[in-house]
């Protein structure tokens, strides 16, 4: 297993941080399929709550697209990330 991944999953105190990568993926997928769902959770969720840095970035893009009332799907998010 990649040592960086192992190190990232532990706090400075050696305590394993909570993580649910599959849940993060499911949530982001839902937000890209049901773009109106963002407005139901926007005040409950922040990008730093995602364990995966990639998921944090994807969530920030979804936030930004939602704020400008843009259409959101996986293709739009990917294009935005490439910029």
Distance CA 34, CA 12 (A): 37
Distance CA 14, CA 22 (A): 23
pLDDT digits (tens, 9 = 90+) for 2-48: 344 444 555 556 666 668 899 999 999 999 999 789 999 999 999 99
Q: What's the pTM value of the predicted model, to 2 decimals? A: 0.77
Distance CA 43, CA 21 (A): 21
């Amino acid at each position: 297993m990649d040592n960086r991944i192992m190190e990232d999953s532990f706090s400075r105190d050696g305590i394993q941080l909570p993580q649910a990568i599959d849940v993060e993926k499911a949530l982001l997928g839902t937000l890209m399929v049901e773009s109106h769902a963002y407005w139901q959770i926007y005040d409950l969720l922040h990008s730093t709550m995602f364990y995966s840095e990639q998921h944090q970035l994807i969530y920030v893009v979804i936030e930004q697209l939602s704020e400008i009332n843009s259409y959101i799907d996986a293709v739009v998010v990917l294009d935005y990330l490439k910029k």
